[in-house]
Amino acid sequence: MKGNGFTLIELLATIIILVVVVAIAVPIVSNLIESSRVNAFKVGATQIIKAIEQKNASVEEYDVSTITVDNMESEIGISNENYKLLEVSINDKGVISIFLEGKNKLDGLVIHGSKNNLVDKPLETSYAYEYTGDYQTFTVPYTGTYKVELWGASGGGTTSTAKGISLGGKGAYVTGLIPLDRGEKIYMYIGEAGSTFTASNIGTTSLYAVSFNGGGAGAFDSSESADSGEHGFPGGGSTDIRLVSGTWNDTASLISRIMVAAGGGGGGWSGNGASDQYYSGGGGAGGALIGKGAPTATSSTPGTQTTGKAFGFGGNGIFGTGSNNDGTGGGGGGYYGAREGLSFVKPNSSGSGGSSFVSGYTGCDAVTEAGAHTGQPDHYSGYIFSDGEMLAGNEPMPNPTGGTQTGHDGNGYVRITYFP
């Protein structure tokens, strides 16, 4: 320093020191503030439980479950100013537990448990569901953002190298983020895969039936022996999230779908091998906005956002007429299910893949509550996903068990992940 001033080097050094101090101090201060907020929330939760215990002890046959965030001030004398949700329960040993969500200065905080075992983190953050043959219910455990991932089911096919491989089309994958409130219910319909056929089960006609959640039935050639006939295999069912429960093909329930991962089409096959005019080389993959036709087909009708076999389910395989009882593969389920294999002549006997849907995803065509198309992607319910993604069943995608896969093989799958 010269005279009463600082040199440029001294000023720069001072600035650098201040920047370093701020860079270190800001995270520390932020962490202290957050820690103080969490501790205040825990103290408040403990006070609430103690107040409930006192109320329960002073009032004969008092029902603690009637205490909510709306009446807590009148019931236990504690303001609800910083609390969004309060649920109270008591076990057979008289231990009181709460679930408490904060708001305002305590926004985003959650705590649950008893006075001596309060937990300020979710017990679970990821929830996985497999095919059961019926819909399953997800009751939202915590208010916040959820990542929803769906995998559609694959169509039926055969890996018989002796007479020719004709694989079913693989299922699609969709995902997105959506805000949900504790206690809300959504319904999961997880697609059933078309069967994998071998020499031992090729003649089991029950395996050619409709697949759960929209996979079209295959068509069994009953005019010849099972291992030499020309058969069409079932399409795979789609996997979806709905706001209205019911049977999988209920119209109101189908209209309430806010996310759909398409199923693949069923393969068409000949017991005479790949040289047969009927043999076709496999079903079409479940698609993104539009399903995929059978890989070798010259004529096919996959599902789209507005057309296909039908809204929600694929076409059943068809039989020939007269002396020709050959069958074609079923269409894959989807937002719109795909058509079945269109003819008995190579290469068009395999079913196509259905289409997928994600509310809010550009290019999707949502419907009104009456089922009419709107030309825009947002579902009538207002349930809209952000950061949506769609991958067809012939593309690389996440594998539910880890890593990646090209298309989804087997029954459908659902994974829901909570982000605090």
| pLDDT, tens digit (0-9, with 9 covering 90-100), for 133-182 | 999 999 999 888 999 999 999 999 988 777 788 899 999 999 999 999 99
- Cα 295 versus chain centre, distance: 27
Amino acid at 76: I
CB 259 within 8 A of CB 385: yes
CB 222 within 8 A of CB 241: no
Q: Which residues contact 16 (CB under 8 A, 6 or more apart)?
A: none
- Cα 413 versus chain centre, distance: 7
Concatenating the DSSP letter of every residue in 10-23 gives HHHHHHHHHHHHHH
- Cα 28 versus chain centre, distance: 39
Per domain, the residue ranges of the chain are: 8-119, 124-420
Q: Which residues contact 4 (CB under 8 A, 6 or more apart)?
A: none
Give pLDDT, residue 30.
65
Give pLDDT, residue 155.
97
Q: Tell me which H or E stretch contains 390.
A: strand 386-391
Coil, helix or strand at residue 72:
helix
Amino acid at 191: G
- Which residue, 340, 374, 312, 360, is CA-closest to 174? 360
In tens digits, the chain (420 residues) has pLDDT values of: 455 666 878 777 778 878 877 777 667 666 766 788 888 899 999 999 999 999 999 999 999 999 999 999 999 999 999 999 999 999 988 999 999 999 999 888 889 989 988 988 766 789 999 999 999 999 999 888 999 999 999 999 988 777 788 899 999 999 999 999 999 999 999 999 999 898 888 889 899 999 999 999 999 888 788 888 888 999 999 999 999 999 999 999 999 999 999 999 999 888 887 777 777 779 999 999 999 999 888 888 999 999 999 999 999 998 875 555 678 899 999 999 999 988 877 778 899 999 999 999 999 999 999 999 999 999 999 999 999 999 999 999 999 999 999 999 999 999 999 987
Give pLDDT, residue 1.
46
